Amino acid sequence: MAHIMHKQELIIQDNKPSREEAMKAVEVLLRWAGEDPTREGLLETPSRVVKAYEEFFSGYDKDASAELKKTFEDIKGFDDMVLVKDIDFVSHCEHHLVPILGKAHVAYWPDEKVVGISKLARIVDIFGRRLVSQENMTCNILNCINDTLKPKGVAVYIDANHQCMSTRGVNKTGSSTVTSMFSGIFKKDLEVQRRFLDMIRFQG
Q: Which residues are catalytic, by number? A: 93-96, 134, 162, 164
Specify whether the backbone of 77 is left (phi greater than 0), alpha (psi in -120 to 50) or beta: left
3-state secondary structure of 161: strand
* 68 Cβ neighbours under 8 A, 6+ residues apart: 115, 119, 123, 144, 145, 148, 149
Tell me, rounded to whole angstroms, the distance of Cα 50 from its chain centroid. 20
What's the distance, Cα to Cα, between the start and end of the chain in Å? 42
Count helices and strands in the chain by DSSP H and E runs = 8, 7
Instruction: For residue 106, list its beta bridge partners.
Output: 84, 156
